[in-house]
Structure 1
């Protein structure tokens, strides 16, 4: 046992280094700018029974969903039947996936003929078919309109690609070159993870399994200790989406946290029924929000699934957080972000006497595609951040991915290189954060001019109607806005989710929401030196 204790920290650091290098390798090798520049991908290592052992410090929106994805792969391909060089591929939300552009690659890590671990990589691909370029149609009403749905399949055997699988994939993509290139980037990442984890296992010897179990137990213990520090109670929070892309009827996100001792129940009962539009989030997607929240309780704990052990979650079947097949799900990002923010806000009611203001909770996703003047087709996907809520500690941060977000902006130079676009504006949207003793973080403004040809815009925003709430008398954040300024002077105002056509000379303007403020503007704040002794 003492040997295990001595090895725990070196193994923890080694595993974290492995998954972070997997992430870096995948981003460096990726063809698509959304992965290469935006970081819309994630990597992790699992034990052969499906327990998350380590995850990269990357995109929580994707990291948590790898847990049910691995379970889906193992259900069809048991670990004991895997072989060296095998790789498995999937994206089906009802088999553990998120939405269809997020392809997941899993490679077994072998010691001889025994599977000792699993390396996984998920990446948002540019296009996997469906009714719109980019495979994120904001007006989809059925999963089959969103692209090619792939249950767990064997993609490689002994390292060799199954040509039948790859032919099927490329035939259904508008950007087959990017798809193959990005899949190869994922293969490179999981191969690195397999080599380095196998080498770590060899160095550690027979103690490897016990040390991994101890790291999971340490994360659980630290999380339970954090829960014990908060008085028992129940706290609720509600928020709403600005419709589902088909109607403007608000979509309710409700959560109740019930904490007793060192255990916590997360209950989304009261959330709206599943919608006709694509804002539904499958349980595998919701795992990302739940894991993010549980990790936030003990951010210094080992970066594994041990933090989930004290939690029980309720996702009512047939609701927006657990839809039935064939629900459309491509716009689930806004649902996850508001669900995550709801958990953080509800928890702050019990854990703090002065709760946090709400984050804007917006990650605007644009899929822009078209045909240039020379007839060449182009396609790119872009993610735009918003503002964070303020707290008793200070102002909210402007232009940042919050909650399950951690994506990076795409540099203007990259956008203008890959598409016939000129980015005319890229700035902090001053005045969009709530006003208070501590101001909410401001959103972001982007403006794109289409230089030639024509094309389509798939716009997925949020907070066009609802606002990020202030706390303790602080003001709410400003709502989002989007519009197309036509070359002939007309202005088309876009709702929270929209699909429109545009032509050369048209200008797309995006303004994301601000975070809520903390404290009334005239509230007198005391610095620590002013506090009474």
Structure 2
């Protein structure tokens, strides 16, 4: 084969791979039982080479996409590709084997051609419940992983003969919603099976140049990323932020990053971040890799979406820290930590002057697990993700009510919420004025008000920025902090912190107000220019 042959096949193969993983993603969401995946899109799909290198990933949720890399690596370490057979399916969620937190179950299936494994298809989906001390498996006051649900190291879940009945029995016995668990796992299996069929057919059409073209695409992504780094100035930049406690203590949890860029290589070091904490805001290395991959993708967004984007990166995560905790750390609330880590990288890099100056995003993805009993005794459960505000930039105002950085979860429609739970959404609106002031205003957060119509219910709440704020840039103001409370039917008000668990009953209202993004540019500059601070809601 010639170099010209490989080059001619690269772009068609890249487009075909992207189409395959996007169809995996769409199919998984359509087949999912739980609204958190079906409507919210809290799931991800990707394809890998047999050595674990990322080949292509769907345009979905960066928080899960990046973490599939170490998860697939964990499966391959336990079950080498050469030992896999057609129809095998592997399952895992263990944060110390490449996973993130326990509700995120990873399903892996080998792709075979002529009896040889040529690739691996993988999906990750946030399941409604995998056990633990609270419904929804996201206890905000957990102090060890064993309180958070069923922990699965990589295991063979099924073969060509079907699901291992013993494994499925254990899964069912540890979930409060076994029907949803089975249905969502079936959606994942359908997605990896689709990916396996499409990739096997694609490899057959491509012929003997399939692997060389895949390698060329990975090399191209590396070359484009290194070229972007060479065009950026050399230097060293630092950024710090903090979480509003860990769910057990109100002491701030510090996130510190230092970026060193030399030539076509970049070193990202989180030394100086807090040691691991008792509460569940610790983040596994697999989770933090998601933030690092997102950051690296911003450097050369037109590059093929594969392992080559990570080649110029050296990532330092201090052992025993909140970003690389030791067993048995609690990790279920790691989303806020990973978002802060991503924000910190973007904030540090913005000082390099390598691109458009951007103020910090709110860095909030409020995750709630609600469950209860109706008046007739029927149980219900709902998990929801609520967005916040994006930071403004030199180009304009920040976007309100949007998932930013490693977030990309979709809004759960009011109609779906009210059909699945005895809740009435009394308000769903932009939280006007919550974005930071400035020449360009930060994006506003969101306000949602839920009324419980019948029975009693429990709430596990995971928010952020209840104390801190998203800083402004270039003289812009900080965004407003988040707020949450229960307004009791008797007039009492219970204020909720960034991580809280509480009970409520029919007639009570839950009010959620998410933080705004930072503003960009001093207002004085706007006055001097004869203009005013911009806001997308004006």
Q: TM-score, normalised by structure 1?
A: 0.98
Contact kept in structure 2, 1:87 and 1:159, CA below 8 Å: no
Matching residue of 1:215: 217
Matching residue of 1:44: 46
1:26-49: CA deviations, max 9, x gaps? Answer: 000000000000000000000000
- The CA distance in 2 between the partners of 1:242 and 1:305, in whole Å, is 34
Q: In the superposition, relative to structure 1, how do residues 55 and 353 fare at CA in structure 2: closer, same or farther (>3 Å)?
A: closer
Matching residue of 2:150: 148
After TM superposition, give the deviation of residue 511 of structure 1 in Å: 0.2
- The CA distance in 2 between the partners of 1:502 and 1:316, in whole Å, is 40
Q: Which 4+ residue blocks in structure 1 deviate beyond 2 angstroms?
A: 351-355, 524-527
Matching residue of 2:466: 464
Supply the RMSD in Å over aligned alpha carbons: 1.0
Alignment match of 1:438 (pick from 437, 440, 447): 440
- The CA distance in 1 between the partners of 2:111 and 2:486, in whole Å, is 50
Q: In the superposition, relative to structure 1, how do residues 354 and 418 fare at CA in structure 2: closer, same or farther (>3 Å)?
A: closer
Matching residue of 2:482: 480
Match runs of 1:44-443 below 5 Å: 44-158=46-160, 160-352=162-354, 355-443=357-445
Contact kept in structure 1, 2:358 and 2:473, CA below 8 Å: yes
- The CA distance in 2 between the partners of 1:510 and 1:269, in whole Å, is 34
- SS of 2:518 mapped into structure 1: coil
- The CA distance in 1 between the partners of 2:522 and 2:235, in whole Å, is 27
After TM superposition, give the deviation of residue 510 of structure 1 in Å: 0.2
- The CA distance in 2 between the partners of 1:366 and 1:21, in whole Å, is 28
- The CA distance in 1 between the partners of 2:180 and 2:238, in whole Å, is 44
- The CA distance in 1 between the partners of 2:378 and 2:202, in whole Å, is 48
After TM superposition, give the deviation of residue 522 of structure 1 in Å: 2.0
* Structure 2: segments with no counterpart, 5+ residues: 531-538
After TM superposition, give the deviation of residue 112 of structure 1 in Å: 2.0
Q: TM-score, normalised by structure 2?
A: 0.97
- The CA distance in 1 between the partners of 2:42 and 2:355, in whole Å, is 36
Matching residue of 1:530: none
* Structure 1: segments with no counterpart, 5+ residues: 528-533
Contact kept in structure 2, 1:129 and 1:147, CA below 8 Å: yes
After TM superposition, give the deviation of residue 159 of structure 1 in Å: 5.1
Contact kept in structure 2, 1:354 and 1:472, CA below 8 Å: no
- The CA distance in 2 between the partners of 1:76 and 1:176, in whole Å, is 27
- The CA distance in 2 between the partners of 1:72 and 1:414, in whole Å, is 36
Contact kept in structure 1, 2:254 and 2:273, CA below 8 Å: yes
Range with greater deviation from structure 2 (353-362 or 411-420): 353-362
After TM superposition, give the deviation of residue 201 of structure 1 in Å: 0.1
Range with greater deviation from structure 2 (155-164 or 360-369): 155-164
- The CA distance in 1 between the partners of 2:161 and 2:507, in whole Å, is 48
Number of residue pairs the alignment of both structures matches: 527
After TM superposition, give the deviation of residue 377 of structure 1 in Å: 0.5
Alignment match of 1:493 (pick from 472, 492, 495): 495
Contact kept in structure 2, 1:345 and 1:355, CA below 8 Å: no
- The CA distance in 2 between the partners of 1:351 and 1:406, in whole Å, is 26
- The CA distance in 2 between the partners of 1:379 and 1:223, in whole Å, is 43
- The CA distance in 1 between the partners of 2:307 and 2:459, in whole Å, is 38
Contact kept in structure 1, 2:245 and 2:251, CA below 8 Å: yes
